[in-house]
Amino acid sequence: MARIIGGVTTSHVPAIGAALDNGKSGEPYWKKVFDGYEFSKRWIRKAKPDVILLVYNDHASAFSLDIIPTFALGCAAEFPIADEGWGPRPVPKVVGHPELAAHIAQSVILDEFDLTVVNKMDVDHGLTVPLSLMYGQPQEWPCRVIPLPVNVVVYPPPTAHRCYQFGKALGKAIRAYPEDLRVVVFGTGGMSHQLQGPRAGLINSAYDRKFLDLMTKNPRKLASVTHLELVRETGSEGIELVMWLIMRGALDEKVREVHRFYHVPASNTAVGHLILENLK
């Protein structure tokens, strides 16, 4: 049977990808960010996931204002890298796992989470930056990736509670898959950041640190956080944190925190990163 080994949360700031792609990762400003992922690179090489279920948000790359799915699942065999305006990032194409994805879609829809099945989709920095942070710059990504984009662009995104419950349905679906696959779930975005308007640059480290604590110890409490609180306390784009709850829901109630990294700033953003392992 498929098994969820653990979960990873990480910010997905596009400038992190640009720093890596342009050979600037050794510069002092960026080294402070990449150093926080040294442990993580070793961890994931050892964990050897066959599949990553990667929860992220599309940044107006695959989805325009024509169609805005709240939860979508990439069921294709491959996902090309999006051109976000400066040409596609020079990273390997993303290879999916259509069989597991189809199984997940069936399972969660029958569990009343009516996600949108997507069979053609470009993936943007929201998905590729977390892979770069965890794997560096390989010729090919070492595992399959199932993209799970969540709408956080057009307000309102799904609630934190809905995300947490959805994560539980995803976990149940993965654990019921008959093949012996090692699965890691990523919840990306956050932490505090605001990219627009005169309040841009907002950072709330105290809130972020409490959020990190609760992710490990008391995710139920986080599931009751409102959108209004997230926008007020962590910035208009800090609302991406709801996506972390999807990952957390897919894990067991009790988890082991094996790594934590928190750093300000990466461009406009507070970088928050956790690795959580299921106990059994």
Q: Which residues are catalytic?
A: 125, 193
* Binder of another protein out of 137, 196, 218, 224 (CB under 8 A): 196
User: Is 82 an interacting residue with respect to another protein (CB under 8 A)?
Assistant: yes
CA 168 to chain centre: 16
Q: How far is the CB of 218 from another protein (least distance, A)?
A: 22
Shorter beta-carbon distance to another protein: residue 50 or 233: 233
What is each CA distance from 210 to 15, 40, 222, 243, in whole angstroms?
25, 21, 10, 17
* Binder of another protein out of 46, 86, 139, 178 (CB under 8 A): 86
Shorter beta-carbon distance to another protein: residue 178 or 197: 197
DSSP string covering 11-62: ---HHHHHHHHTT-TTSHHHHHHHHTTHHHHHHHHHH--SEEEEEE---SSS
User: Is 117 an interacting residue with respect to another protein (CB under 8 A)?
Assistant: no
Shorter beta-carbon distance to another protein: residue 172 or 227: 227
CA 254 to chain centre: 20
Number of residues assigned to the chain: 280
From 34-42, 56-64, 174-182, 243-251, give the range in contact with another protein by CB under 8 A: 56-64
Residues 136 and 41 sit within 8 Å (Cβ to Cβ)? yes
* Binder of another protein out of 111, 116, 227, 258 (CB under 8 A): 227
Q: Are strands 116-118 and 72-74 parallel, antiparallel or unpaired?
A: parallel
User: Is 192 an interacting residue with respect to another protein (CB under 8 A)?
Assistant: yes
**One character per residue 256-275, x = contact with another protein (rule: CB under 8 A):** --------xx-xx-x-----
User: Is 280 an interacting residue with respect to another protein (CB under 8 A)?
Assistant: no
| CA end-to-end distance (rounded Å), the chain | 14
Q: Are strands 3-10 and 269-278 parallel, antiparallel or unpaired?
A: antiparallel
Between CA 120 and CA 254 the distance in angstroms is 36
Could you give the maximum distance between any two Cα atoms of the chain, in Å? 52
User: Is 89 an interacting residue with respect to another protein (CB under 8 A)?
Assistant: no
Sites of contact with another protein (CB under 8 A):
14-15, 18, 59-61, 64-65, 82-87, 153-156, 192, 194-205, 207, 227-228, 231-233, 235-237, 264-265, 267-268, 270
